[in-house]
Amino acid sequence: MNERLKELRKKLGLTQQEFAERLGIKRNAVTNYEVGRNAPADMVVSLICREFGVNEEWLRTGEGPQFIEITRAEQIQQMVDDIMRDHPEAFRRRFVTALAGLDDHGWIALEKFIDSITDQKEEDTRKKLHDDLDRQLNEEEYPAEGSEASQAM
């Protein structure tokens, strides 16, 4: 199991310290698990599987898929659960709380706001691309003095 734990942690892109913090255990415990000095208790194995969506059979034996397939609804629920563990004043938590309080009119207003931001960003991007293209074409037609193209004329 020690190699699979190390593989999992690396695949998740976590240091031993970050992995330990997510589980609420000490970093040296993770080190001991990964080098095979100690085996994690059943409670720690369950915690790893729940926290990271790992297939317990894979973690214990190497059999089966590494991760448990979850539905989009389950992913959203996990995200909301994670956000609700944030400090009450954290932006993510305040945002989700505000969304939960929206009525139909609020959702319509939010949709219009999002559409206006998206449309504006797309318009800004189109304008910037257009301006860049105009500048490049202008430079090709009328090269700046001292440039190779102007000296060739």
Average pLDDT for the chain:
88
Q: Is residue 20 part of a domain?
A: yes
**Tens-place pLDDT, residues 55-67:** 999 999 999 999 9
- Taking the C-alpha atoms of residue 63 and residue 11, their distance in angstroms, rounded to an integer, is 17
What CATH code is carried by the domain that includes residue 6?
1.10.260.40
pLDDT for residue 121 is more than 70: no
- pLDDT grade for 93, boundaries at 50, 70 and 90: very high
Q: Find out whether 55 and 64 touch, Cβ atoms under 8 Å.
A: yes
Angle in degrees, 0-180, between the axes of helices 91-100 and 72-84, rounded to the nearest 10: 120
Classify residue 21: in a domain, yes or no.
yes
**What's the domain range around 49?**
2-61
37 within domain boundaries: yes
Q: Is the pTM of this model over 0.75?
A: no
Per-residue pLDDT, 80: 92
CA distances, 97 to each of 44, 102, 104, 106, 113 (Å): 31, 9, 16, 13, 18
Q: What value does the mean pLDDT take over residues 111-129? A: 80
Domain assignment present for residue 41? The answer is yes
- Greater pLDDT, 153 or 137: 137
Query: How far apart (Å, rounded) are the C-alpha atoms in residues 139 and 151?
Result: 14
Convert the chain into a string of H (helix), E (strand) and C (coil): CHHHHHHHHHHCCCCHHHHHHHHCCCHHHHHHHHHCCCCCCHHHHHHHHHHHCECHHHHHHCCCCCECCCCHHHHHHHHHHHHHCCCCCCHHHHHHHHHHCCCHHHHHHHHHHHHHHHHHHHHHHHHHHHHHHHHHHHHHHCCCCCCHHHHHC
> How many structural domains comprise the chain?
1
142 is a domain residue: no
Whether 34 is covered by a domain: the verdict is yes
Mean predicted confidence (pLDDT) in 65-72 = 91
**Is residue 9 situated within a structural domain?**
yes
Nearest residue to 47 via CA among 8, 79, 15: 8
Q: What is the mean pLDDT of residues 72-99?
A: 92
Task: Name the nearest CA neighbour of 83 among 71, 97, 72, 73.
Answer: 97
